[in-house]
Chain A
Amino acid sequence: MGQGKSQFTEEELQDYQDLTYFTKKEVLYAHQKFKALAPEKVGHNKNAKLPMNKILQYPELRVNPFGDRICRIFSSSHDGDCTFEDFLDMMSVFSDTAPKAVKAEHAFRIFDFDGDDMLGVSDLRQVVDRLTGQQRLSEQDMQHLIQNILDEADLDDDGALSFAEFEHIISKSSDFANAFRIRL
């Protein structure tokens, strides 16, 4: 902790506390975790940019089927490489205190693989494929599943989920906020 403290000024910590869902102590703790990913680099420069494969060493992200997507979404350079600030942003969104709406927004971006601001059929396919991992659904099942999802959520019948529709589902799902969470 002592080392971590010396790397940040009080002002920076105040900034981080105001701009994330963390307290100062948690910010320092997050920095420890970040440092553990690449001790030398971060020890040298507290806000060092770590390549995506280093960030993916973080246990929760390593096994997460959307790990690379998460890195990309939170990376300020959009290539998956994250600085400490990006990492802090990420952890802040995944923290317990972040409201559902904020989580929903990021989840939408994570699931939106092609970046067209809609969760289209191809996006949903990728989501399902990543969720099931090694096992693959048969083509027929996949089509059936996606049809079911669209039947449930696609209120305007345009064959894709917009953010508003996605937010609507999330607001009704009590499990989402619980599941979309990583304890520091």
Chain B
Amino acid sequence: MSGGDRKKRTSRGQGWEEAGAEFYQESYPADVDLDVLQRDPSHLATLLPSKQSRAATAKRVRGEVKPTLRRRTSTRSRYHSTSRRASTTADVHVAMLPDLSENLSNEERTWEEIMQIKAMPVSMAQKKELKAKLQSATKLRLQGFEQFKWQRRKFWQQVKSRWKETYTKLELWRTSLKKIEGNFGIGVVAYFLFIKWLMFLNLTIFVFIFTFIILPTILLDTPATTCSSNSSNITNECQYSCENITEKNHDVILDTIQGTGWMENTLVFYGFYADKIFGVGSDAAFYYNLPLAYIAVAVVYFLVSLGAIVKAAARGFKERLVEGEGQFYQYCNLIFGGWDYCIHNEKAAVIKHKALYNEIKGCLEAERLEEERQSRSKEEKTKLVITRCIVNLIVIVVLAAGGFLIFETLEYSKQQLDGLKGEDTQIDSLNVLLFEYLPSIAIVGLNLLVPSLFAYLVTLEHYSPIFVVRITLLRTVLLRLASLVVLLQSFYHRIFVDLSLPCWETYVGQQLYKLVILDFVTHIAVTFLINFPRMLIAKHSKSKVAKYIGEQEFDLPKHVLDVVYTQTLCWLGSFYAPILPAMGTLECFFLFYIKKFACLVNSTPSSTVYRASRSNSLFMAVLLFSFLLAVIPVAYSLAESIPSKCCGPFTAQNTAWGIVVFTFNQFPTWIQSIIYFFSTAGFAVPAFITLSLCLYYFYAISAANKQMVQVLKNQLVLEGHDKQFLLNRLSAFIKQQQQEHQKAMRQMEMSSVAGMSNGS
């Protein structure tokens, strides 16, 4: 539509037309806008390009839909020129089609465009129309290699969508996850995904162990590895242990639970694996070095675990960094991303409403508290500091006491067991079981009771809600890991001070095996025997006490700890009991269902809002911490401690790591010298300096970027103010013009009326 045309139609507001219409006419041709504008000049602001959404433009000119398609991936100028000029002739779709006169589109582009239609906010009918238009438009056929490339791209796309289809069908626990999501929201689902992730991690570790250690042993090893055949060349001490094992012929079930007896000398534990290089083929042309494989696999699965954790954590970290850049959009996130659209349960929706309300209140409250804190009197401050100090002291004392208790029970049970061994009667087998499990029971008991104490203590300290979650989690993690540390310490004592164990690696494996089993049993017992009845009490009783006892929220940090603890045991033990990762996989698998039951049946949704991204990075942080705790003792035992002389793959070495050194010494000299060079100061010092410089460089860049963001943001605000100012001036000007125009009209009318009256 030309400018002249418009002038004819809108006779009012000539001044405005001349002043600014040219620009708007170009981009926003709708007459509607101008009419609105003249009625309400302040509406001008909504016409600014920065205020336009694609959808809005489509909506504004209703009936003649004109989506100004903003190409995200391929910005080609011809689209700009056409869509900008979008005329009001009813069919605006033409604007979006390739301008055939200018440039013939080729097949690939057309295809790309069709693929992009789906991103447009228009109705399906319009999309279909667009697609048909694009398809029917004449286009160049691609020639030769180009054609091939395009076909290949198309083919990949198809393969991808096929893969997606089959994957969604195969995806484990899809319906369960949807159900949990519908009732508890995405924060809790993140936890279940975490369990799933751990299960796959354990499965990977197990596959490694199975293919490189267990399978070769089964296939290549002759059954002659039992102690009797080997006993000729090993010490008396070992012979004793072998006899001891065969002598003890206990209950099969008890042995299975404890990992003793028949189980001790199976694939389950370290002791079974032989210090042998297997020959394959008739004249042993190929050989398989089991000890080397054993240690290499251990190194590999620790590295794989670390890699997986770091990768998962990095994803969360990246998101957090983007969020944290400049400022954190706390309130906006809460309002615009607060509702989980996946919730489909009415009760859950009510709770979600409540949770959001509380969260909003909490945020506002926290802000007020912050202000209050600044104005807090000195007396109150000191009081708070003292309370916090005391609470922390109590926590430390409790932790220490817990450690001491575990240590004492360990000692006690050891003494009792030694005493019982002397008597050796049938009735005592249950007692043996009890004392075998006593330390583990003490650990589990502490893990059940102390967290509630911590949860109470933290309320006295008046921290902000987020910090409360973190510090409670930290303390509980410390408790769990402290108990593990004590356990490890007692192992150390028994192994290297008492020297009473013939095959200490198997002993460690047995202890961890027991812990894993007990842990699993505890999960089942707590969920089905304690929490389930509690829920029933709360449901069927009206009294307040029952409600208080019975009602339970799905307390995410606690459940996270359960899984992380299991995983730590698994990492700790998989060197000494290679079957442990398989148990870990199974446990994670069943844990999913146990926790699902705990979540859907036993608990009500928590009144705190768990954000998926935040909780994910929390999981990974805790997991990384416990990973380090698991790696350190294992690495120490590999590098420093003397392996048992009568069992396991390292009988000939002074340390398990020795085999690696030994193999390394057999490498060609040039490889040795290269690697040796890496460990000299001549390489290390320059490398260290270069790395430090790089680090500094990136630090400087990030600091500069941060400043740049600040500057740009300030500039943006300034621009905004300028725009506001100009808009106000413009609308004032328009108003003035209108008034003058009206005045002039009135005068004209008056004069004409006067003229008419004069004439008459």
Say if the beta carbon of B723 comes within 8 Å of chain A: yes
Using known A-B contacts A19-B131, A182-B342, determine if residue A92 contacts B118 with beta carbons closer than 8 Å: yes
Minimum distance in angstroms from A62 CB to a CB of chain B:
7
Identify whether the interface residues of B are mostly helix, strand, loop, or mixed. Answer: helix
Partner of B336, one of A76, A97, A111: A111
B115 lies within 8 A of chain A by Cβ: yes
Per a CB cutoff under 8 Å, which of A124, A141, A183 touches B364?
A141
Please tell me which one of the listed residues A88, A109, A131 contacts residue B124 in the complex, with CB atoms under 8 A apart: A88
Report if B337 contacts A (CB, 8 A): yes
Contact with A along B515-539 (1 / 0, CB 8 A): 0000000000000000000000000
Contact of B666 with A by CB under 8 A:
no
**A131 & B338 in contact (Cβ 8 Å cutoff):** yes
- Residues from chain B with a CB closer than 8 A to the CB of A141 are 360-361, 364
Contact bitstring A80-114, B, C-beta under 8 A = 1, else 0 = 00010110110010100101011001111101000
Within the complex, the shortest CB–CB distance from B220 to chain A, in Å, comes to 47
A99 to B47 alpha-carbon distance, docked (Å): 27
Question: How many Å from the CB of A174 to the closest CB on chain B?
Answer: 4
**A78 CB, min distance to chain B CBs, angstroms:** 8
B123 at the interface (CB under 8 A from A): yes
A152 at the B interface (CB under 8 A): yes
Q: Are B339 and A65 in contact (CB under 8 A)?
A: yes
Contact B337 A173 (CB under 8 A): yes
Chain B CB within 8 A of A41 CB:
no
Query: Given contacts A63-B345, A155-B717, are A134 and B52 in contact (CB under 8 A)?
Result: no
Give the size category of B's interface with A: 35 or more
Residues of A within 8 A of B125 (CB): 76, 85
Beyond A111-B336, A127-B335, whether A163 also contacts B51 by CB under 8 A is yes
Interface stretch of the complex, out of B139-147, B326-334, B484-492, B559-567? B326-334
> Is B322 an interface residue, CB under 8 A from the partner?
yes
Tell me if A's interface is mostly helix, strand, loop or mixed.
Answer: helix
Does A1 belong to the interface (CB within 8 Å)? no
The CA of A144 and the CA of B45, in the complex, are separated in Å by 25
Contact status of A135 and B353, CB under 8 A, knowing A63-B348, A158-B45? yes
Inter-chain contact A64/B339, CB cutoff 8 Å: yes
**Distance A158 CA – B719 CA, assembled complex (angstroms):** 12
A8 contacts B by Cβ under 8 Å:
no
Contacting A at CB under 8 A, from B315-351, are 319-320, 322-323, 325, 327, 329-333, 335-346, 348-350
Docked CA distance A15–B666 (Å): 64
Are B186 and A145 neighbours in the complex by a CB distance under 8 Å? no
Q: Contact mask B541-569 → A, CB, 8 Å, 1/0? A: 00000000000000000000000000000
The smallest C-beta distance from A42 to any residue of chain B, in angstroms, reads: 16
Stretch at the interface among B53-61, B229-237, B420-428: B53-61
Interface check A48, CB cutoff 8 A: no
Check A25 against B720 for contact (C-beta < 8 Å). Answer: no
B182 contacts partner chain A, Cβ-Cβ < 8 Å: yes
CB–CB B346/A63 < 8 A: yes
Asked if B357 and A132 make an inter-chain contact with CB atoms under 8 angstroms apart, the answer reads yes
- The closest CB in chain B to the CB of A180 belongs to B341
From B124, B320, B340, A76 is in contact (CB under 8 Å) with: B124
Given contacts A19-B127, A86-B124, A132-B357, whether A173 and B329 have CB atoms under 8 Å apart is: yes
Q: A173 → chain B, closest Cβ, in Å? A: 5
A30 on the interface (CB 8 Å rule)?
A: no
Assess whether A133 is in contact with B353, with CB atoms less than 8 Å apart: yes
Bound form: Cα–Cα A82–B45 in Å: 33
Q: Could you tell me if B336 and A173 are in contact, using CB atoms closer than 8 angstroms?
A: yes
- Give the distance to chain A from B516, nearest Cβ to Cβ, in Å: 33
Task: Give Cα distance in the complex from A5 to B91, angstroms.
Answer: 34
**B-facing mask of A19-30, CB < 8 A → 1, else 0?**
111010110000
Contacting pair B182 A59 (CB below 8 A):
yes
- Which residues of chain B have C-beta atoms less than 8 A from A175's C-beta? 186, 333, 337, 611-613
Q: Which residues of B contact A59 (CB under 8 A)?
A: 182, 344-345
In the bound complex, do residue B343 and residue A63 qualify as a contact, i.e. CB atoms below 8 Å apart?
yes
Q: Closest A-chain residue to B611, C-beta based?
A: A175
Q: A117 on the interface (CB 8 Å rule)?
A: yes
The chain B residue with its CB closest to the CB of A168 is B329
Proximity bits, B121-149, A CB within 8 Å = 1, else 0 = 10111011001000000000000000000
Residue from A15, A25, A99, A132 in contact with B353 in the complex, judged by beta carbons closer than 8 Å? A132
- Asked if A53 is at the interface (CB within 8 A of a chain B CB), the reply is no
Q: Is B178 on the interface with A (CB-CB < 8 A)?
A: yes
In the assembled complex, the CB of B323 is this many whole angstroms from the nearest CB of chain A, namely 6
Bound form: Cα–Cα A155–B612 in Å: 27
B709-743 Cβ-contact flags toward A at 8 Å (1 or 0): 00001001101110110000000000000000000
- Cα distance A117–B717 in the bound complex, in angstroms: 21
| Nearest-CB residue, chain A, relative to B130 | A19
Question: Please, how many angstroms separate the alpha-carbon atoms of A157 and B713 in the complex?
Answer: 12
Closest residue on chain B to residue A93 by CB atoms: B121
Please indicate the chain B residues that have their CB under 8 angstroms from the CB of A135 in the complex. Answer: 353-354, 357
CA A137 to CA B738, docked complex, whole Å: 43
B382 in the interface (beta carbon within 8 A): no
**A129-180 residues at the B interface, CB under 8 angstroms:** 131-135, 137, 141, 144-145, 148-149, 152-153, 155-158, 162-164, 166, 169-170, 172-176, 178-180
Contact mask for chain A residues 114-130; partner B; CB cutoff 8 A; 1 contact, 0 none: 01111000001001100
Closest B residue to A67 by beta carbon equals: B341
Contact of A163 among B53, B320, B322, B344 (CB under 8 A): B53
Tell me if B342 and A164 are in contact (CB < 8 A).
no
- List the B side residues contacting A180 at CB < 8 Å: 337, 341
List which A1-50 residues lie within 8 A (CB) of chain B: 15, 17-21, 23, 25-26
Residues in A neighbouring B168, C-beta threshold 8 A: 26
Give A131's nearest chain B residue, CB to CB. Answer: B356
B177 to chain A minimum Cβ distance, whole angstroms, is: 8
Complex contacts, A182 vs chain B, CB 8 Å: 341-342
Q: How far is the CB of B279 from chain A (nearest CB, A)?
A: 53
Chain B residue, CB-CB nearest to A111: B336
- With A115-B59, A152-B327, A172-B329 in contact, is A76–B123 under 8 Å at CB? yes
Top 5 closest pairs, chain A to chain B, by CB: A156-B720, A133-B353, A85-B124, A163-B53, A59-B344
Given contacts A108-B55, A117-B53, A182-B341, 11 further A-B contacts (CB under 8 A): A25-B165, A76-B125, A102-B119, A118-B51, A131-B357, A135-B354, A149-B331, A155-B720, A174-B320, A179-B338, A180-B341
B residues near A (Cβ < 8 Å) are 45-46, 50-56, 59-60, 72, 114-115, 117-119, 121, 123-125, 127-128, 131, 161, 164-165, 168, 178, 181-182, 186, 319-320, 322-323, 325, 327, 329-333, 335-346, 348-350, 353-354, 356-357, 360-361, 364, 367, 611-613, 713, 716-717, 719-721, 723-724
22 A-B residue pairs with CB within 8 Å: A18-B117, A19-B127, A60-B341, A63-B346, A76-B123, A86-B123, A115-B59, A131-B356, A131-B357, A133-B353, A135-B357, A137-B361, A148-B331, A149-B331, A156-B717, A156-B719, A158-B720, A166-B336, A172-B325, A173-B332, A174-B319, A181-B341
